[in-house]
Each structure stands twice: as C-alpha cells, then as structure tokens.
Amino acid sequence: MFFDEVYNLLFTQWFQRKTLKSTPIGFAAEFEHPESCVYLALGCYWAVDRGLVRNVVGEPGTPQDWQSSFVFPDLHDIQDESVANQLSKQIQSLVPTQLKSFKSVKSFRYGAISMLMWDPAVTYEECIALGGWSSSTNSDWYTWTYLIAVIPAVLMLSGYPDCQVPPHSPSCSKLFMGGVPIDFWMTHNRYQMFVFNLFPNSLHEFQALHGRLRQFLIVVHATMIMHFQHFYQKYGTGNMCTKVMIDSVRTSFEVNLTPAIKHVAAQMTDRHMGPPGRA
C-alpha cells in the first residue's frame, strides 16, 4: 500500500494468479457514492473492527513488522485460491437476487473497462493500464514506471466529471479555521486525539509524526467525517460506523451525545469539499 501525496491517490499491487503478473491499482476518494468508496470502507474496518491494532508488532524493518502491516493479516495464512473464493462469494452475496443470473465477479471488471472505453477522455492505453491486460505496446513497463498512467481511469470510475484534473482529497482543514462553538475549537493535540479515538492504532506506518501512511490515515479520517451525515440519515445511530464516529467526537471534545450528533452532522456538511468542477 502506497499513498501518493502529490496525486492524492492510494496505490496497491494487484497480483494476477493466472498470468503471474502484478499491476498497480489506484483508488481515489468517492464523493457521491459513499458505499463505493474504498477509503470509507477501510475507515469503517479500522474504526469498527480495530483493523490497525495488532497483538504483536515487530521493530521497524523486521519481518515481523512487515507481516503485521498487512491490511488483513489473517488472510495471509490462507491459500490464494481460498481467499479469492471467499471474496467472490462475499461480492455475489451483495448482488440482488433478481440480478444474480446477470452478474458475476468478473462482470464487474468487464463492466468497468466497458465504461472506460466509452469515455472519450480516457485513452485505450489508460484503460489497459488500469485493467492489467497485456498489449502489443510497452505499456506494461510504463504502468509501473509512471503510475500517472492509471490516474484518468481511476478518476473516471470514481465519478469525476473531468478525469484529466488532479485528484482531490477530503480535508479537515476548516476545523482549524474558527467559526465553530468554543467547545469544538480544534487544536493539534485535540485533532490527534480525535483521530486516535476513531482509529486505535499500533502500526508504525500509521503513527504520528512520520509514519509512511500517516497522511493516508488523515485522509481516511476526513472521508469518514465527510460521509457522516449520509450514514446518520440513512442508517441511524444504531449503525456501528455512525456510533463509533459519534463516540469519538464525544470522547475527543468532552461533550454529551446530543451536541456531538448535531455538531458532526452540521460541521461535516461544511467539510464536503468535492473534486474540482463539482457543485
């Protein structure tokens, strides 16, 4: 996992079992469809299931430290084929019954590539770069050398109206700019507490001040804040993601539950800084 702070994109490595090739896959924050946002999905996992907590963490640079940094450590003790089957079953279980006969896990990939091919702003080479297919050109080499090759395709699938603009990330910077009640004034220490209360963390790479993925954790935190109102209105306070957000605000700002709900619901609407070109 690598977060590019210049292009505001998360990159992971996708290994293809059939071809033994690996390609870079990029992810951008999704502003309009929260359930499709990878950043939000990771944030919910880290917040609800304590996904950044490990019982044992090795010293930086040791094999134990490397193994503990896996997003889902338990899956690395299982054969690749079994992991793939579990993921396939989970995805299929989320498809509505009336659509199951029309959809497979592969169809999601093919559907995404079809969408890219129909978009005149995305070139053929950029589609191939994201899809991981081989071509008669040397695009495979360039994809790893210049990760920028996959960015237009990533942004198009993330709903950007113009996939040629620089990617944009949610930000909590306005929390430091005043204009909120004194109980919610943001300081550096209070903000760090806010992040830690939402994401208990024992991994070196995500810790302040110089963790390699610390900035990505801040972006994920801002993404969860941005989508809080969606969760609150759609799922209510009984939803675990909504609940941990409210609890982290209440703990960080030492206020009771009702003001915490009202504050998060109001302030997070103001934090909704969409990508350039969006209303």
For 10, what's the count of Cα atoms within 13 Å in the CB-facing half-sphere?
22
Return the number of other C-beta atoms located less than 10 Å from residue 34's C-beta.
Answer: 21
Q: What is the mean pLDDT of residues 241-266?
A: 71
Q: What is the mean pLDDT of residues 224-249?
A: 86
Distance of CA 257 to the CA centre of its chain: 27
Is the separation of the CB atoms in 1 and 71 below 8 Å? yes
User: Given 3-state DSSP classes, what are the helix, strand and coil percentages for the chain, each rounded to the nearest 5?
Assistant: 55, 5, 40
Peptide bond into 9 cis (omega under 30): no
Q: What is the mean pLDDT of residues 52-72?
A: 80
Q: What is the mean pLDDT of residues 75-95?
A: 78
With residue 23 as reference, give the H or E element that holds it.
Answer: strand 21-27
The rounded distance, in Å, linking the Cα atoms of 30 and 42 is: 13
Q: Label residue 226 by pLDDT band (50, 70, 90).
A: confident
Three-class DSSP labels, 122-172: CCHHHHHHHHCCCCCCCHHHHHHHCHHHHHHHHHHHCCCCCCCCCCCCCCC
Query: What are 218's two structure tokens?
Result: 């801040």
Q: What is the pLDDT of residues 95-136, one digit of tens each?
A: 788 877 777 767 777 777 788 888 888 887 777 776 655 555
Q: Phi then psi for 59, rounded to 5 degrees?
A: -65, 150
The rounded distance, in Å, linking the Cα atoms of 163 and 184 is: 36
- Choose among 249, 248, 240: nearest CA to 197: 248
Q: What is the mean pLDDT of residues 257-277?
A: 51
Question: Percent of the chain beyond pLDDT 70?
Answer: 77
Query: What are 152's two structure tokens?
Result: 């237009």
The rounded distance, in Å, linking the Cα atoms of 103 and 99 is: 6
Is the separation of the CB atoms in 25 and 11 below 8 Å? yes
Query: What are 257's two structure tokens?
Result: 């539950």
- The pLDDT score that the predictor gives to residue 273 is 44
